[in-house]
Chains A and B, each alone.
Chain A
Amino acid sequence: MITVNGEPMEWKREMTVRDIIDAKRYVFPLLAVWIDSVPVPRDDFDITEVPDNANVQIIHMISGG
């Protein structure tokens, strides 16, 4: 199990940041991701694996308005 923005989510082996973004349907382009408080560069979303029990923050920068 991992936590994404404070909510539990089932963990899968070899799960990447991109997999979580797709599952959550986060289509907004200005996303910033931290895994256990360590930032993940945007270009690495596809290749960064998320470990089990991780605390993932996927922050939508404000934009809009």
Chain B
Amino acid sequence: MEKMKVLAEWSYDPAKPFRGYTGKTLKVNVGDMTFESKDVSEDMKDKFTGGRGFGLKLLWDSVKDTTKWNDPENEVVISGGPLCGVTQYPGMGKFYAVFVSPLTDQTYDSNAGGHFGPLLKFAGWDAIEIQGKARKDVVVVVDADEKKVKILESPFDDVNAYTVTEALHEYFGDPDDINDRRFSSVLTAGKGAETSFWGCINSSFWDSHRKMPRLKQAGRGGGGTILRDKKIAAVVVKTHDLSGTANNPADVDTLTRLGAKLHKEIISLDSKQCRMRTAGTPHLNEIMNEYHLLPTNNYKFGQHKDADNIHSKVYEKMFTQGIADGCWYGCTMACAKAVDGYELKTGPWKGKKITVDGPEYETAAGLGSNVGVFDPEWTTETNFYADHYGLDTISLGTGIAFVCECYELGLISKDNTNGLDLKFGNKDDIMELLHRLGEGKDDFALMVGKGIHKMKDLFAEKFGADRKVMERIGMEGQGIEVSEYVPKESIAQWGGYFLTLKGPQHDEAWLIFMDRVNKQLPTFEDKAEALHYFPNFRTWFSLVGLCKLPWNDIEPEDNATKHSPQEAARVPEHVQNYVDIFEAVTGKKITKEELVLQSERVYNFQRVFQLRLGKGTRKFHNIPDRALGPVWADEWEARTEYYDNELKAGGIDPAGLSSQEKCDRLQKIRREQWELLVDTVYKRRGWDKNGIPTVKKLKELGMDIPEVIAVVEKHAKPEDQWKD
């Protein structure tokens, strides 16, 4: 590759991390080509902790109340958090990207593995804000070795992820030592991210075994779309200042001791528990099918007769075994599985042999059962191209599933799809739609790429499709597609998906087993308690830079015999590890209650942030009928006995009713239950009837920042306050 032209550059002195923080954040404006270093105050650490918390704080300071996703002041803020970069304990290399989303017009946060988060910190920065819009494609480089931040003219005609990532790892590596490429990490999006709102951010790490870069994704929310709107082809971070103690932790012995214990636990128990080391997250495929949770044909069904074709054993065989597939150093969980030597059958790289990262469970289900396809090779191919084009596989799967159902219902036709026969399971035409999305030229594909929320408007307006039907079956909330679990049989999971800060992604709470199978949440108060605790506990991972999987996809052998059923579900020993690790890195002592409090501060701040952007009230916590229960007769008839009993439990005798009438009656019952759930959860969270955090709550949390209170006071109404 030819030397890239420098458009702007700025020198800095990389701050060394101390107790997990460098104390500095970087702002790069690619529009006016400026650079700025900001100090991190103790107050910022206390209120926002790091990671997503820092991202939200920096974004808050940079946008206006009216900012839309494609305004120049919108940012992509990337931050790992104080524990990010620890190598002694598994799962500690995540970063969180925060931005105003094109799909939801409010803040979104999305995480990725890969080495970018840790390297950014070791290059001197607790966070990077990227703002402005470049006039032509650029590459942003944070080079701690040279002590410079640069904006370079992008040489890439093909901005797709693998092309750009491979070239940049080579460009920034020592030509005489291929493994020197591990000291860089590259963020990319892709061509598909330019025209679709499903743009993902790919984050690389150099795989020293395979001698190639691998890609992990901050898939959700459209962060990649913003990168391309800013004409950013890539962001590179580079530093050789990398070691197991680069965080300069307070107590390395504790980290080593806790890490050694968990490594041992994972190595000895994983094969009996989740098989993450060999099957990765697809170990869930057959389990979800067995419990009627595997989304099939746009979440109509939770089970399918061909599900054995996508059994984890099939994926296990496709994945290369025996390689330590951790996406950051020290992760013995090693679930970042890959298919090597896969020969592409379609698209611009047809015939080329490549390595595919994944498929993970969400992709296996989204670009599999949910679109009616039970063919792992096909899913693997879609996975590769989605990453390469910079498209989120979850929104893609759920979005195409919606398109297929609209097509099968006759709401749209072949005339509208530019000749594609988009029935469920029609692999060739669905693949072609993916390539059209990647290319960004076909007018139908352009509509699809705007997401279900906007597709409903576009299909109604342009094709006369029935809006009411689309509202019922479109699996989105707050503008973003639902991730890949059937929620309709768990009232708590309605909340886990649809009472979230940013829309239906399962990173806040996954309560289906607790609620529906274990029957641990019998009352609405129990469900609300879970919808308070789990989102707040899980938010903490995003503040400190952790992967959630080593928390509860492995558990100590005595977890269940040592604790009560309710406690065991929280995996207390692992929670205590996190409490101890926080102190071991930062030197600050916290309790497990304070850990949740750290999250609750940011959780409520983000809720107010949504409010500030014109969202964040009850009317945006909407749920489609398909998420509540069966919509059409064939869904009922797939589980007649089960649903008849559900109706009886609601006080209605199903005898004499047609299946469609039964669906409609059950919907009515469940809609009322939904409203009750919303009230109970809002109350538990300290929000008013309209879903706005109360001033009292913000004061309790120490988040009574004047400008935050001002937003609440502007929107809260006396009639929405609870009486007690």
Which of these, A29, A33, A59, A65, contacts B273 with CB under 8 Å? Answer: A29
A9 to chain B, nearest CB (A): 13
Given that A30-B273, A32-B560 are contacting pairs, would A64 and B518 also be in contact in the complex, using a CB cutoff of 8 Å? no
Give 9 new A-B contacts, CB below 8 A, not counting A30-B273, A60-B514, A62-B510. Answer: A27-B286, A27-B287, A29-B272, A29-B275, A30-B274, A32-B565, A59-B520, A59-B560, A63-B274
A residues near B41, Cβ cutoff 8 Å: none
B262 to chain A, nearest CB (A): 16
B536 to chain A, nearest CB (A): 15
**Interface stretch (choices A12-20, A34-42, A46-54):** A34-42
Output the nearest chain B residue to A24 by Cβ-Cβ distance: B517
Q: Which 8 A-B pairs have the closest CB atoms?
A: A32-B560, A65-B510, A60-B513, A65-B506, A39-B561, A6-B519, A59-B565, A64-B510
Identify the B interface with A (CB < 8 A).
272-275, 284, 286-288, 290-291, 483, 485, 506-507, 509-514, 517-520, 522, 548, 552-553, 555, 557, 559-562, 565, 568-569, 571
Range for the number of chain A residues in contact with chain B: 20 to 34
Q: How far is the CA of A59 from the CA of B518 in the complex (A)?
A: 5
A residues near B506, Cβ cutoff 8 Å: 64-65
Output the nearest chain B residue to A38 by Cβ-Cβ distance: B561
B residues near A27, Cβ cutoff 8 Å: 286-287, 290
What are 15 A-B contacts with C-beta separation under 8 Å? A28-B287, A28-B513, A29-B275, A39-B560, A41-B561, A42-B272, A42-B557, A57-B518, A59-B520, A59-B565, A62-B510, A62-B511, A62-B513, A63-B553, A64-B506
Cβ A61 vs Cβ B517 within 8 A: no
Which of these, A33, A34, A62, A65, contacts B569 with CB under 8 Å? Answer: A62
Output the nearest chain A residue to B560 by Cβ-Cβ distance: A32
A residues near B509, Cβ cutoff 8 Å: 65
Instruction: Say yes or no: is A58 at the interface (Cβ < 8 Å to chain B).
Output: yes
B residues near A34, Cβ cutoff 8 Å: 565
Cβ A65 vs Cβ B507 within 8 A: yes
B residues near A29, Cβ cutoff 8 Å: 272-275
B residues near A59, Cβ cutoff 8 Å: 518, 520, 560, 565, 568-569
Query: Which interface residue of B284, B286, B512, B568 has the most chain A CB atoms within 10 A?
Result: B568
- DSSP majority for the A interface? loop
Given that A32-B560, A59-B560, A59-B565 are contacting pairs, would A65 and B517 also be in contact in the complex, using a CB cutoff of 8 Å? no
B residues near A6, Cβ cutoff 8 Å: 519, 522
A residues near B290, Cβ cutoff 8 Å: 25, 27
A residues near B557, Cβ cutoff 8 Å: 42
Cβ B519 vs Cβ A32 within 8 A: no
B residues near A57, Cβ cutoff 8 Å: 518, 565
Cβ B560 vs Cβ A58 within 8 A: no
Q: How far is the CA of A40 from the CA of B517 in the complex (A)?
A: 19
B residues near A7, Cβ cutoff 8 Å: 519
Given that A33-B560, A57-B565 are contacting pairs, would A62 and B519 also be in contact in the complex, using a CB cutoff of 8 Å? no
Query: Which interface residue of B511, B517, B557, B560 has the most chain A CB atoms within 10 A?
Result: B560
Cβ A62 vs Cβ B561 within 8 A: no
A residues near B507, Cβ cutoff 8 Å: 65
Q: How far is the CA of A25 from the CA of B235 in the complex (A)?
A: 48
Cβ B485 vs Cβ A62 within 8 A: no
A3 to chain B, nearest CB (A): 10
Output the nearest chain A residue to B290 by Cβ-Cβ distance: A27
Q: How far is the CA of A27 from the CA of B507 in the complex (A)?
A: 23
Given that A5-B519, A29-B272 are contacting pairs, would A64 and B513 also be in contact in the complex, using a CB cutoff of 8 Å? yes
Q: How far is the CA of A27 from the CA of B513 in the complex (A)?
A: 12
Cβ A62 vs Cβ B514 within 8 A: yes
Output the nearest chain B residue to A37 by Cβ-Cβ distance: B564
Cβ B552 vs Cβ A61 within 8 A: yes
A residues near B513, Cβ cutoff 8 Å: 28, 60-64
Cβ A64 vs Cβ B555 within 8 A: no
Q: How far is the CA of A27 from the CA of B522 in the complex (A)?
A: 23
Q: How far is the CA of A7 from the CA of B517 in the complex (A)?
A: 11
B residues near A30, Cβ cutoff 8 Å: 273-274, 555
Cβ A64 vs Cβ B520 within 8 A: no
A residues near B569, Cβ cutoff 8 Å: 59, 61-62
B residues near A32, Cβ cutoff 8 Å: 559-561, 565, 568
A57 to chain B, nearest CB (A): 5
A residues near B286, Cβ cutoff 8 Å: 27
Q: How far is the CA of A26 from the CA of B291 in the complex (A)?
A: 8
Given that A28-B513, A29-B274, A39-B561 are contacting pairs, would A64 and B519 also be in contact in the complex, using a CB cutoff of 8 Å? no
Cβ B571 vs Cβ A60 within 8 A: no
A residues near B291, Cβ cutoff 8 Å: 28
A55 to chain B, nearest CB (A): 12
Q: How far is the CA of A33 from the CA of B512 in the complex (A)?
A: 18
Q: How far is the CA of A62 from the CA of B561 in the complex (A)?
A: 16
B569 to chain A, nearest CB (A): 6
Q: How far is the CA of A29 from the CA of B274 in the complex (A)?
A: 7
Q: How far is the CA of A28 from the CA of B272 in the complex (A)?
A: 11
A residues near B565, Cβ cutoff 8 Å: 32, 34, 57, 59
Q: How far is the CA of A59 from the CA of B564 in the complex (A)?
A: 10
Cβ B485 vs Cβ A5 within 8 A: no
Q: How far is the CA of A39 from the CA of B290 in the complex (A)?
A: 25
Q: How far is the CA of A35 from the CA of B528 in the complex (A)?
A: 27
A24 to chain B, nearest CB (A): 9
A38 to chain B, nearest CB (A): 9
Output the nearest chain A residue to B293 by Cβ-Cβ distance: A64
Q: How far is the CA of A16 from the CA of B153 in the complex (A)?
A: 69
Query: Which interface residue of A57, A59, A65 has the most chain B CB atoms within 10 A?
Result: A65
Cβ A61 vs Cβ B568 within 8 A: yes
Q: How far is the CA of A60 from the CA of B515 in the complex (A)?
A: 10
B residues near A40, Cβ cutoff 8 Å: 561
A29 to chain B, nearest CB (A): 5
